[in-house]
Structure 1
Amino acid sequence: MELLIMRHGEAGWHTLDQERELTETGRLHVAEAAAQIAESPWRPKLIWSSPFVRARETAAIVSEILNCPVEERPFLTPDDDPGQCLDALLDTDISPLMIVSHMPLVGSLATLLVDAHRNGIPFMTSQAVMLDMPVVGPGCADLKAQFLP
């Protein structure tokens, strides 16, 4: 399975966490990272997005640039257990798949898949990584590429 994991773009702080919207800079950076992904061999067939506004906005920008559909997943909010996401990955055969979510989840999930522990690596806003997993499971992924705005 090929999996892209992306952190949402920069968001403002003027409202409740779930309702935070992307800034103009955030939108620009998401588009820049998505353009890099569009030039790579790893164009996702589907995007799973957190239900939070900033992640949905990020996924919509990426979806438009990469021409792929988006589905919201309730287990992709900031403090969700990366194990829930791993379980969902085991139940899908879609590849490449992209996940758009938040810190600390994106860091914990990437670290779980690559290094088999949950001490999350940091992700900048709008950053994405490409993981290749011959088998879906902890410690089974190799980091193939990073996409930065």
Structure 2
Amino acid sequence: MTDPDPLAAPAAVRRLVVLRHGTAVGAAASDHERDLTEQGRAEAAGVGRWLRAEGHLPDAALVSDARRTRRTWEEVAAAGDLLDVPVEHAPALYSAGPESALDLVRATDTGVGTLLVVGHNPTVASLAHLLHDGRGSERAALRMAQGYPPAAVTVLAVPVAWRDLAWGLARLVDFRPPRP
């Protein structure tokens, strides 16, 4: 039996969009309170415009509760005309490792077709790399292998229910390095 091709049946495929927050200031009262720089806000707005242009529109957003991730989401939502997308600010995502972040994704409501996760490195890079099944866009894989800088975003096709998502089950659709 062959593996199901998640790109062959787009209507049945979920999408996971994994985004690292935009460029942040170097210091604040605490790491949790670090905000975005002007460049970081422009990068996040660029992601929002790109998501809209490419049709990777989230039905829900899971966002770390740190200031820089919340601000990244605000800029993405405003530029991508995504202000009506339900957002959950998850304190657990701030310090989550890849396995904990995956657990948060697995808890996504079954009605969500596309989930956007906004988090921190190294967790978001690890999440994207570990979920990738080694197939899909070779160009995206090469770009993702070169690093996961602030405002980098990965789009993965998920052929299973959120609760069943596991390492190596998602097809790499696209990777966008940061740019305004």
1:76 match: secondary structure: helix
Check whether the contact 1:63–1:69 (CA below 8 A) recurs between aligned residues: no
Tell which structure's C-alpha radius of gyration is larger.
2
Q: Distance in 2 between matches of 1:105 and 1:61?
A: 21
AA matched with 1:66? D
1:20 maps to which residue? 34
Runs of 4+ in 1 over 4 A off after TM superposition: none
Query: Paired residue for 1:52, among 60, 66, 85?
Result: 66
Structure 1 residue runs of 5 or longer lacking an equivalent are: none
Aligned: 1:11 with 2:40: no
- Which range moved further: 63-72 or 136-145? 63-72
Check whether the contact 1:6–1:106 (CA below 8 A) recurs between aligned residues: yes
Query: Paired residue for 2:96, among 60, 80, 85?
Result: 80
Give the TM-score of the pair, scaled to structure 2: 0.74
- Which range moved further: 6-15 or 63-72? 63-72
Give the TM-score of the pair, scaled to structure 1: 0.88
Q: Distance in 1 between matches of 2:86 and 2:70?
A: 12
Q: Distance in 1 between matches of 2:67 and 2:130?
A: 26
* Pairwise CA distance, 1:87: 2.1
- Identical residues among aligned pairs (%): 32
* Pairwise CA distance, 1:46: 1.1
Count of aligned positions: 145
* Pairwise CA distance, 1:123: 1.1
Q: Distance in 2 between matches of 1:34 and 1:63?
A: 6
2:157 maps to which residue? 132
Structure 2 residue runs of 5 or longer lacking an equivalent are: 1-13, 135-143
